[in-house]
Structure 1
């Protein structure tokens, strides 16, 4: 098989056919008899490899030849015969040949082999090892995890699932509602939130701050009075 570029230089890059342009003076790629004959014979030879003869009245011969080719090679054979392999013994043949050796023995003991495990022994050892692994998986203690930041941090007890999240926020002066987003969403629920006021010494602020509500992701804080911006620390507990 060859590209048209084997018979003419009037081609596009990589030996492809091209259109000509009269304005640009670029001639098109000529259709050479040599190239057409090559394509014809390539197709004809493939068809004749699987069909007895060419038939001008049958435009499905290439399809039939491809189907005949595919029928000779199953998608997935499961036997030596399925792949047409003739120079190998099957399992039954091999077992029979081995059974004729050493007094027809087909076991390790039959050959007097004492330094190897049988299949039954290996399976038992593997089962015992798997049981140990399964028991460890049930009783093992996962590592506790945590992350610490300048304004918010969290710790997680992997054994119990208890999670503490804590940090600092600044509540603006006057009536205000502020949401604090937890660093990590509680897997199940937030159970409680506690606030502590960082009030400046000797400067009463008269802020009235309380927790409105919380969910797994955040807590909303209300300042219903006061006239200064105040820092608060918060602790949220949950699991």
Structure 2
């Protein structure tokens, strides 16, 4: 392919900027990324309008723009909040790992059962949760004790959800993930377990946050209290 003299000159004049753009793209695809939260599936841990920082090197070094693992770097842990490519269609999701390879996972009445032991729940409290403009339902929030890593979860009794499933064993090399908003999340109950190569990275911090929903429709109000906050 022959380039015109003008285009060649433009590329020469802007090569530093183009190199910066290329380096930035490689950084986002291989090292670190940020992920806006578009849905309520991780409430109350993450809210719509949060932007989270994702460490793409938490588990594996991958060939940029692919799921090809070049070098394993770390092991996913129960309680990690991760971004992933859904094995059922490739949509990018953000969920919490609750089951490791070989774990036995079940659920009864929204209570998670790990290797035959029901998890503990404390600090239960009720509040109104807006699931759509003008539609507020009763919600229950509690602290779930998962492998020594307590975190907030939410239940929506008024919604039809998959609150019970029989015990399964997580296959080798795969992970069972759930949303913290247990009755409003497309997770391993529906998409199946997640192969390790589909894990993109670990989300560890909210960088910025803004309320862009609101009961009255569209609005944009910064939530400064959530800026640069750790994800538990």
TM (norm. structure 2) is 0.21
Flag the structure with more relative contact order, 1 or 2, with Cα contacts below 8 A and sequence separation at least 6.
Answer: 2
The structure whose residues are more often strand, as a share, is 2
